[in-house]
Amino acid sequence: MSYKFDFEFLAERWPDFVAGAWLTIQLTVASIALGFLVGTVCALARVYGGPVLRRIVGVYVEAIRNTPLLIQIFIVYFGLSSLGLKLSAEVSAIVALTVNMGAYTTEIMRAGIQSIQRTQLEAADCLGLTRLQTILHVVLLPAMERVYPALSSQFVLLMLASSITSQISAEELTATANLVQSDTYRSFEVYVIVAVVYLALSALYRFALWAIGLVLFERRRRLGTPL
Amino acid sequence: MKTGTVLRSLLGVAFAAVLFALPAQADTLDDIKKAGKVRIAIDLAIPPFGMTDDKMQPTGSDVDLARLLAKDLGVELEIVTTTGPTRIPFLQTNKADLVVSTLSITPERAKVVDFSIPYADHPSVVAGMKSDTIKQMSDLDGKKVAVVRGTTQDTDLTRQAKGAQLVRYEDDATMALAFASGQVDVLATARSLLPAISKKNPARTLEPKITMQTFYLAIGMRKGEPRLLEWVNNWVRTNLQNGRLVAIYKTHHGVDIDPAMLLKAGG
């Protein structure tokens, strides 16, 4: 068997790939932003909350981190719809990815929050900062700075994992690849192209996250060193 | 990521591509006989063509046909489980020798694989619930219509029902689940599937609304295998005439296929 590469279909189908990549970006940016919020709130609840709240967050985190993402997506899309709550494939994808992102972010942010030394909190106390001010300025931002590399990796992982949402008919990049592949039968070429696009998206996300890091963390901007 | 790492991974991809492109001259019919087994790709998620029975054994009309074919070839049958979108890639990448998986003959597919003469006909329909008043393609405007990605129904509806909102799933089982869970109320699929889907959802009975077109199912194989093609064609002709394929269809589909019509369609 000999295989001849043929990328001719790209001339006609490249807008499909662009549309797919654009939906992938929309889905993942929304889920990353929402998931980060959910995760940060849950991390605070897990560290500072009462025993009941801590237990509830613990169950959420363990339930999500120990089940496959595909099953979570099916539960949101098919399960909720069976109960009468019909969400579109895109909304279901964002909900499921957010819930997933939230659980992983909770653990990462919890590690960051717990890494803040007690002396810092005592200093904040002495300066007369309120509890809210302490959490915002002394705990959260430095905690985030400390776990920023781990967070960034998790965000990029989520972008790659979003390919699974093709299974519930969200027409993102992988779904586009499957569609073009089934029209043209150039499966090898199509998946090589899509792999390259994902690689480019990962690079783009990493660059964006690096830039956001510079804006958020003064130490990095001024000294170029991590915490 | 460091530049060196990227370069190295690109090199890896290039190396894999070279491996793929290495020519290997061989005759599949000889290979099958020499190996003592024939690898046939079948989708086991399309009842009543391919499915698993209550003992988790493969069964269905495509499975029975494959078993009969392997027996007549005098070799063992190895079922390669496949899905709609991966049927042809499995042939191209030599993961299977033949595809017997509700593969209908289309001009696009004929460019990349060779087809045997047809062994059955296969009408595809737009189906909805009894209460739906769909009569023609324009009635689908603004409606969600479920299809399996890459099937002929997908291609046809994309062209003919521009106003419809196509919702594409990866296989029949997921599409059936989407219907059962109420995500979609209309689907475009093979008529042969409707009884099975309706049986599982008594509250949501499907009925055919529009007949899209009738396809002919054939056995697919890689291009450039004249000896294999000839053997398979003769086998299909013989078994249509002696009624063994008709019997398989009667068992699994409850319909009689017409050998004379199929042989005429096959030329």
Find the residue in B nearest to A174 (Cα): B170
Place of tokens 């059955």: B120
Structure tokens at B5: 């790492």
Q: Rounded mean pLDDT of A115-131?
A: 94
pLDDT band, residue B73 (cuts 50/70/90)? very high
Please give the pLDDT value at position A185. 80
b or e along A58-80 (b: 16 or more beta carbons within 10 Å of the residue's beta carbon)? eebbeebeeeebeebbbebbbeb
Contact state of B21 with A188 under an 8 Å Cβ cutoff: no
Q: Tell me which residue in B21, B177, B178 faces A3 most closely, judged by beta carbons.
A: B21
Find the residue in B nearest to A184 (Cα): B108
Please give the pLDDT value at position B192. 83
Predicted confidence (pLDDT) at residue B184 exceeds the cutoff of 60: yes
A48 touches chain B (CB under 8 A): no
Contact state of B178 with A181 under an 8 Å Cβ cutoff: no
Query: What angle, rounded to 10 degrees, do the helices at A10-48 and A173-184 form?
Result: 150
Average pLDDT score, chain A: 93
> Which stretch of A3-7, B56-60, B167-171, B226-230 has the lowest confidence by average pLDDT?
A3-7
All structural domains of chain A with their residue ranges:
10-223
Show residues of chain A in contact with B112, CB under 8 Å.
Answer: 185
pLDDT band, residue A221 (cuts 50/70/90)? confident
Residue type, B11: L
Whole-angstrom CA distances from B216 to A43, B101, B125 are: 59, 12, 14
**Contact between residue B132 and residue B6 where contact means Cβ atoms under 8 Å apart:** no
A8 touches chain B (CB under 8 A): no
Q: Tell me which residue in B13, B20, B168 faces A3 most closely, judged by beta carbons.
A: B20
**CATH superfamily name and code, B26-119+218-266:** Periplasmic binding protein-like II (3.40.190.10)
Q: Rounded mean pLDDT of B18-24?
A: 48
Count how many residues are written for chain B: 267
Predicted confidence (pLDDT) at residue B16 exceeds the cutoff of 80: no
- Helical ranges in chain B per DSSP H: 3-21, 28-35, 61-73, 87-92, 107-110, 152-160, 172-180, 194-200, 226-241, 244-253, 259-266
Whole-angstrom CA distances from A221 to A143, A201, A214, A217, A224 are: 17, 24, 5, 7, 6
Residue B14 CB neighbour total at 10 angstroms: 10
Q: Tell me which residue in B21, B89, B181 faces A78 most closely, judged by beta carbons.
A: B181
**Helix or strand (DSSP H, E) at A25:** helix A10-48
Residues 6+ away with beta carbon under 8 Å from A130: none
Q: Rounded mean pLDDT of B182-207?
A: 87
For the stretch A68-99, pLDDT in tens is 999 999 999 999 988 888 899 999 999 999 99
List the B37-42 sheet strands across, edge first. Answer: B76-81, B37-42, B98-99, B220-222, B113-115
Please give the pLDDT value at position B151. 85
Q: Tell me which residue in B13, B23, B182 faces A82 most closely, judged by beta carbons.
A: B182
A7 touches chain B (CB under 8 A): no
pLDDT band, residue B23 (cuts 50/70/90)? very low
**B110 Rama sector, left if φ>0, alpha if ψ -120 to 50, beta otherwise:** alpha
- Cα–Cα dist B245/A76, whole Å: 43
For the stretch A6-37, pLDDT in tens is 898 999 999 999 999 999 999 999 999 999 99
**Contact between residue A169 and residue B167 where contact means Cβ atoms under 8 Å apart:** yes
Q: Tell me which residue in B85, B151, B168 faces A181 most closely, judged by beta carbons.
A: B85
Contact state of B92 with A187 under an 8 Å Cβ cutoff: yes
Average pLDDT score, chain B: 88
Q: Please give, rounded to a whole number of angstroms, the shortest distance from the CA of A108 to a CA of chain B.
A: 22
Nearest CA-CA partner of A209 in A151, A147, A139: A151
pLDDT band, residue B17 (cuts 50/70/90)? low
Please give the pLDDT value at position B13. 59
Contact state of B149 with A182 under an 8 Å Cβ cutoff: yes
DSSP code, position B164? S
Torsion of CA B38, B42, B48, B51, to 10 degrees: 100
Show residues of chain B in contact with A89, CB under 8 Å.
Answer: 167
Show residues of chain B in contact with A195, CB under 8 Å.
Answer: 13
Show residues of chain A in contact with B84, CB under 8 Å.
Answer: 182
- Cα–Cα dist B226/B232, whole Å: 10
**Contact between residue A197 and residue A132 where contact means Cβ atoms under 8 Å apart:** no
Please give the pLDDT value at position B1. 45
Predicted confidence (pLDDT) at residue B22 exceeds the cutoff of 50: no
Q: Please give, rounded to a whole number of angstroms, the shortest distance from the CA of A182 to a CA of chain B.
A: 5
- Cα–Cα dist B176/B182, whole Å: 10
**Helix or strand (DSSP H, E) at A115:** none
Predicted confidence (pLDDT) at residue B8 exceeds the cutoff of 60: yes
Contact state of A81 with B1 under an 8 Å Cβ cutoff: no
CATH number for the segment(s) A10-223: 1.10.3720.10
All structural domains of chain B with their residue ranges:
26-119+218-266, 122-215
Whole-angstrom CA distances from B170 to A188, B85, B146, B151 are: 18, 8, 11, 10
Contact state of B22 with A2 under an 8 Å Cβ cutoff: yes
Name the pTM for this structure: 0.72
For the stretch B88-113, pLDDT in tens is 999 999 999 999 999 989 998 999 99
Please give the pLDDT value at position A90. 95
- Cα–Cα dist B223/B221, whole Å: 6
List the B186-190 sheet strands across, edge first. Answer: B165-169, B144-148, B186-190, B120-129, B206-217
Structure tokens at B252: 């699994």
Whole-angstrom CA distances from A132 to A24, A110, A138 are: 36, 17, 10
Contact state of A78 with B108 under an 8 Å Cβ cutoff: no
Predicted confidence (pLDDT) at residue B119 exceeds the cutoff of 90: yes
Contact state of B178 with A169 under an 8 Å Cβ cutoff: yes
Contact state of B167 with A89 under an 8 Å Cβ cutoff: yes
Residue type, A38: V
Nearest CA-CA partner of B145 in B186, B197, B97: B186
- A:B CB pairs within 8 Å: 84
> Which stretch of A18-27, A48-57, B129-138 has the lowest confidence by average pLDDT?
B129-138
Residues 6+ away with beta carbon under 8 Å from A160: A198, A202
**CATH superfamily name and code, B122-215:** Periplasmic binding protein-like II (3.40.190.10)
**Helix or strand (DSSP H, E) at B212:** strand B206-217
pLDDT band, residue A193 (cuts 50/70/90)? very high
Q: Rounded mean pLDDT of A142-165?
A: 96
- Cα–Cα dist B228/B221, whole Å: 8
- Cα–Cα dist B71/B89, whole Å: 26
Q: Rounded mean pLDDT of A54-62?
A: 97
**Contact between residue A94 and residue A30 where contact means Cβ atoms under 8 Å apart:** yes
- Cα–Cα dist B101/A132, whole Å: 63
